[in-house]
Amino acid sequence: MTRRSIGFRLAAWYFLVLAAGVLAFSVIAWFAMRASLYTAVEANLIDRAESLAIFIEEVTKLPGGQMQEELQEHALPGSGGNLFQVRSAGGQWLFRSRSLAVSNISLEPPGALDGPRFENRVAEGRPVRLYSERVLIGSAPYAIQVAAVTAEAEQALRSFRIMLLLVAPLLVMVASGGGYWISRRALAPVDRITQTAQRISIQNLEQRLQVPDTYDELQRLSQTLNEMLARLDDSVRRMSQFTADASHELRTPISLIRTTAEIAVRRPRTSEEYRQALDEILGEAERTSQVVESLMWLARADSGKEHLDRETTELSGIVRSAAGPGEKLARSRDVAFSIELPSLPTPVHADAPALRRALLILMDNAAKYTPAGGWIKVEAGCRDGYGEVSVADSGMGIAPEDLPHIFDRFWRADKARSRDQGGAGLGLSIARRIATGHGGDIKVESQLGKGSVFTLVLPLESPVH
């Protein structure tokens, strides 16, 4: 199927809308003119009928012969209209205009007329408008009918119709041509934007569209596309870095697993040596599984498929459930652990397991980077309608230049040390994603050599005062 340009479609829609509008206007104008002409004719007929009724009332007092003469005089041209008929109560014709009689246009007796009536007929080849009415003159009913030739009105309507049929299509065609020309001029900047956009690929995402100073939709479109390109450029850079980091992170344990297995099968060994090799392989496999699981969780979160099953729960209970494993991690490294919970209730709308995972990540990080003899303090509270859980430690701290990057995926200030302690640089990314998924965030304060404080901030279900 041939695809038409936007300019052509705009012109086509403009043509259809304009044609429909002109057609509707023409039809309405024709019917309005017709109604106006017939209204004038009918008003004249009603006036004539009233005048005729008054005249009949005057001549009914005359003898029969004189009454016929008076009606004949009334029918003469120039005396108020010569097209009328009159019937008496008994159905006798008191008078019939020659044109109406020759054309056999009948008039019911007074008793058969149920009310005033208009109709179109032809008298001697001429179109006429008839008005029939039953009137009481004295106590006797009469049926009267007056007519008016409508040839002039019909001719005026035909002339008006011919004018509409000639002028309306010409107007539509000229206006549509102008609309197409205007649409082409209006869409010319869009063509330039399209040509520039076609030259942009993943290899040159840093290129930007020229933004016209028109303060209209085209300027907003160019700015929006440039912002989109900036986001794509940033996403591609992050994706490339993420892919490189993930490849590096997975290549190391896989290489260790393969090397350990190759050494183990190179020559016969004792059961203890095989067990030691299998333990090393198992440890690397577990770390690899953790990295893969974290990557899958982040991928689901990025695609919006990681659903948080949120419900109203107590923040203190979540902190307490995470503090148990956190204390064990701290004690295993000979680090003191303490917890302080608020006395007031702190209800939050949260996914308790996900929030517990985020807190465990913060406690695990604190335990990893706090030397033996140090301490970890977990404190929960609320402030300004937000619940806060802080995890403070007396560890090595974070350098100021490293603070902006600690939530980046696979980022570690000391890769070798972190690898020895089992970290992959994904924990804090997951923790922050969980926090932002709850409408909160994670704040950090740290001084190199003096420890760090990570604070998880969440909106409360209802502010506590």
- 205 belongs to a structural domain: no
**Both structure tokens of 65:** 């012969």
- Kindly indicate the confidence band of residue 412, based on its pLDDT and cuts at 50, 70 and 90: low
Same domain flag for 45 and 25: yes
Q: Checking phi first, is residue 301 left (phi over 0); if not, alpha (psi -120 to 50) or beta?
A: alpha
Mean pLDDT of 5-33: 85
**pLDDT above 90 coverage of the chain, percent:** 18
Mean pLDDT of 318-343: 91
> Is the pLDDT confidence value at 8 over 70?
yes
Same domain flag for 25 and 129: yes
| Phi, psi angle pair for 333, to nearest 5° | -105, 15
Pure H helices in 369-426: 415-420
361-404 pLDDT tens trace: 899 989 988 999 999 999 998 888 889 999 999 999 988 888 88
Same domain flag for 60 and 81: yes
- Kindly indicate the confidence band of residue 416, based on its pLDDT and cuts at 50, 70 and 90: very low
- 184 belongs to a structural domain: no
Cα–Cα distance measured from residue 83 to residue 402, given in angstroms and rounded to the nearest whole number? 108
- 10 belongs to a structural domain: yes
* Residue type at position 242: F
77-98 pLDDT tens trace: 544 457 888 888 888 888 888 8
- 393 belongs to a structural domain: yes
Same domain flag for 296 and 315: no
- Kindly indicate the confidence band of residue 319, based on its pLDDT and cuts at 50, 70 and 90: very high
For the chain, what is the domain count?
3
Domain boundary among 141, 156, 171: 156
Residue 335 CA from chain centroid, whole number:
56
Same domain flag for 288 and 379: no
Same domain flag for 226 and 272: yes
Higher pLDDT, 134 or 300: 134
Number of other CB atoms surrounding residue 385 within 10 Å: 12
- 195 belongs to a structural domain: no
CB 122 within 8 A of CB 101: no
Domain boundary among 303, 330, 350: 303
- Kindly indicate the confidence band of residue 464, based on its pLDDT and cuts at 50, 70 and 90: very low
- Kindly indicate the confidence band of residue 1, based on its pLDDT and cuts at 50, 70 and 90: very low
DSSP code per residue over 232-277? HHHHHHHHHHHHHHHHHHHHHHHHHHHHHHHHHHHS---HHHHHHH
106-133 pLDDT tens trace: 888 887 888 899 999 988 888 999 999 9
> Is the pLDDT confidence value at 43 over 90?
yes
Same domain flag for 299 and 317: no
227-242 pLDDT tens trace: 888 888 877 777 776 6
- 146 belongs to a structural domain: yes
Contacts 24+ apart (CB under 8 A), 421-427: 421/368, 422/287, 422/290, 422/368, 423/365, 423/368, 424/249, 424/287, 424/290, 424/291, 424/294, 425/245, 425/249, 426/291, 426/294, 426/295, 426/298, 427/294, 427/361, 427/364, 427/365
Query: Which pLDDT score, from 0 to 100, does residue 96 have?
Result: 85
Query: Which pLDDT score, from 0 to 100, does residue 261 have?
Result: 84
- 228 belongs to a structural domain: yes
- 106 belongs to a structural domain: yes
Mean pLDDT of 317-344: 90
CA angle (367 as vertex; 363, 368 as ends), nearest 5: 120
Domain that holds residue 122: 6-156
Q: What is the CATH number of the domain that holds 283?
A: 1.10.287.130
Q: What is the CATH number of the domain that holds 46?
A: 3.30.450
Q: What is the CATH number of the domain that holds 380?
A: 3.30.565.10
Same domain flag for 41 and 122: yes
Strand 84-87 vs strand 140-149: parallel, antiparallel, or unpaired? antiparallel
Same domain flag for 347 and 404: yes
Cα–Cα distance measured from residue 281 to residue 434, given in angstroms and rounded to the nearest whole number? 31
**pLDDT above 70 coverage of the chain, percent:** 88
**Both structure tokens of 113:** 């007329």
Which residues are CB-contacts of 428 (< 8 A; sequence separation ≥ 6)?
Answer: 361, 365, 406, 407, 442
Same domain flag for 452 and 422: yes
Q: With 0.85 as the threshold, say if the pTM is over it.
A: no
- Kindly indicate the confidence band of residue 263, based on its pLDDT and cuts at 50, 70 and 90: confident
Residues in the chain: 465
Domain boundary among 108, 136, 156: 156
* Residue type at position 108: E
Mean pLDDT of 17-29: 89
Query: Which pLDDT score, from 0 to 100, does residue 465 have?
Result: 46
Same domain flag for 67 and 146: yes
Same domain flag for 38 and 140: yes
